[in-house]
Amino acid sequence: MRFRKLRIAWSVGCGIACVLLIVLWVRSYWCHDALWRTNANNNVKGVSSSAGTIVMESLQLDPGIDSAGWHFRTQPEDRTYRGFMWKSSGTYTRVGIPTWFLLILSVTLAAIPWLPWWSNRFSLRTLLIATTLVAVVLGLVVYAARK
């Protein structure tokens, strides 16, 4: 019971993420929502939701196509992204993850701190080491994706 408040806060945060993912999942079947950022070099990084799939994209635009800054667009659903996806070429990278997968992941992360073997077996030091390792792996994935 040492970290009871931390476990409650973690579970509430994951629960809020679950509710937001469910809303996004249902909405994605009739609306295509996209949020992206264009920088001065016309590099575009964005995320969109369509047909039950969340798609993260990175691409290079021709000069003058889009103004720099943040952009958001909602339009009727017209894309057919479904399931897991990885597409890459010289000018773009596109990764798709089904919303149901992220929902299951969020529910699992909310429940893990309440399992008896988890809370009695690991210390705060172990949690910090595991978090550091996850951050290093994600950093390597981002580094590899940019090359």
Do residues 105 and 147 both lie within one domain?
no
Q: How far apart are CA 125 and CA 62, in angstroms?
A: 48
17 φ/ψ sector (left φ>0, alpha ψ -120 to 50, else beta): alpha
Tell me the percentage of the chain whose pLDDT exceeds 90. Answer: 0
For residue 105, pLDDT over 80 is answered with yes
pLDDT tens per residue across span 81-93: 677 888 878 778 8
Q: How much is the pTM?
A: 0.62
Do residues 145 and 76 both lie within one domain?
no
Do residues 73 and 145 both lie within one domain?
no
The number of domains in the chain is 2
Tell me the percentage of the chain whose pLDDT exceeds 70. Answer: 84
Q: Whole domain around residue 127: which residue ranges?
A: 123-147
Do residues 131 and 72 both lie within one domain?
no
Residue 52 φ/ψ, nearest 5 degrees: 80, 15
For residue 42, pLDDT over 80 is answered with no
The mean per-residue pLDDT over the stretch 49-66 comes to: 76
Do residues 75 and 129 both lie within one domain?
no
